[in-house]
Each structure stands twice: as C-alpha cells, then as structure tokens.
Amino acid sequence: MSKNASDNLPTHTDIENWLISYVSQLLEIEPIKIDTQVSFNEYGLDSSAAIVLTGDLQEFIGSELDPTLLFDYPTIDALANYIVKIE
C-alpha cells in the first residue's frame, strides 16, 4: 500500500483499491467489473454487510469510522473521497 509521504496515511487510490477488492470478493465478481460510481446498495450490500465492511475498513485505515458511513457516502468513490478528507 502506498501512503501519503507527509502523514503515512492511505491515499484515495489505496482506499478505493481496498474497497474494490473487498466488494469483489464479497460478491464473487471480478474487480474490473466494480464501478466506483455504483452505489453499495445497487451491488446488493445490505445493512449488516455495510457494518462489517465499515469495521474492516477501520482496521485498514487505522481510524474509527461511523457504522452508518456507507449510507452517507454510498459509492466507493464517495467513501474514499470522504475518508481522505477526514484523515
């Protein structure tokens, strides 16, 4: 994983790639078929999957996240943008 040189945090690309990999494994589809502009809801992630994803994402970035984050930022791109801004 590449990090921002100044603060050693994951970049937008790191977070986006992690989310693409996570969703593709969860849904058993090829990562190339994941569109970062399509909502998690359209991919069929229910609330329990969203909470588990948020917990795993917390571990990846090393920061606490609100469990309802996927409802406020419903696409991979929107979520990665938000996380980079709060880090």
Contacts of 28 (CB under 8 A, 6+ apart): none
How much is the pLDDT for 9? 79
pLDDT in tens, 13-25: 999 999 999 999 9
Question: Which residue ranges in the chain fall short of pLDDT 70?
Answer: 1-8
CATH topology of domain 12-84: 1.10.1200
Global pTM value? 0.87
Give whole-number Cα distances, 51 to 2, 15, 55, in Å: 26, 17, 6
